[in-house]
Structure 1
Amino acid sequence: MPGNSFELPSIFMRAFFLASLLLASTLAHAELPETDWLELMPKSDQQALEQMPEIDHNSPEAMGTFTDKGGLKQSKGLPAVMYSTKTVASMNGKDIRLGGYPVPLESDAKGNSTLFFLVPYPGACIHVPPPPPNQLVLVRYPKGLKIDDIYTPLWVSGKLKVEKVSNDLADAAYALDAGKVRVVEDADL
Structure 2
Amino acid sequence: MLKFLSLSVLLLGATVAHAERGMLDWADLIDEAAQSYEDPYRDLSAEQLTALVEVARMQSQLTATSDDDQRSELGQRLSDAKTALAEDGVDADWLISQRWVAAERRRNAAWAGDADVDGQIVTLGGYVIPAPADQDGVATVYLVPERGMCSHVPPPPPNQMVRVRLNSDWRPQTIYEPVRLTGQIAVVPTEREVVVVDGPVRMQAAFTMEATKVEPLAFAGAMSAGGKAWVEKMTQQLRDKEGDGLNED
- TM-score between the two structures when normalised by the length of structure 2: 0.44
Deviations 1:116-162 (A, max 9, x none): 11001112111332100010000001334231222321000000011
With over 3 angstroms needed to count, the CA separation of the structure-2 counterparts of 1:156 and 1:42, relative to structure 1, is same
Number of aligned positions between the proteins:
130
2:215 to 173, 182, 185: 182
CA shift for structure 1 position 107: 5.0
1:139 matched to 2:164: yes
Task: Give the whole-Å Cα distance in 1 for the aligned partners of 2:216 and 2:21.
Answer: 15
Misfit runs of 4+, over 3 Å: 44-48, 76-79
1:43 matched to 2:13: no
1:96 matched to 2:85: no
1:34 matched to 2:23: yes
1:1-189 superposed matches below 5 A: 33-44=22-33, 80=106, 84-106=110-132, 114-168=139-193, 169-185=202-218
Task: Give the whole-Å Cα distance in 2 for the aligned partners of 1:99 and 1:47.
Answer: 27
Whether contact under 8 Å (1:96, 1:157) holds in the other structure is yes
Task: Give the whole-Å Cα distance in 2 for the aligned partners of 1:136 and 1:166.
Answer: 11
- TM-score between the two structures when normalised by the length of structure 1: 0.57
Task: Give the whole-Å Cα distance in 2 for the aligned partners of 1:154 and 1:117.
Answer: 11
Whether contact under 8 Å (2:186, 2:207) holds in the other structure is yes
With over 3 angstroms needed to count, the CA separation of the structure-2 counterparts of 1:136 and 1:101, relative to structure 1, is same
Q: Which has the higher helix share?
A: 2
Computing the radius of gyration from Cα coordinates, the structure with the larger value is 2
Secondary structure class of the residue paired with 2:139: strand
Percent of matched pairs sharing the same residue: 31
Q: Which has the higher strand share?
A: 1
Which ranges of structure 1 fall in alignment gaps of 5 or more residues? 1-30, 54-59, 61-75
CA shift for structure 1 position 44: 4.0
Task: Give the whole-Å Cα distance in 2 for the aligned partners of 1:99 and 1:106.
Answer: 21
Task: Give the whole-Å Cα distance in 1 for the aligned partners of 2:21 and 2:115.
Answer: 20
With over 3 angstroms needed to count, the CA separation of the structure-2 counterparts of 1:86 and 1:107, relative to structure 1, is closer
Task: Give the whole-Å Cα distance in 2 for the aligned partners of 1:142 and 1:180.
Answer: 8
Task: Give the whole-Å Cα distance in 2 for the aligned partners of 1:89 and 1:83.
Answer: 13
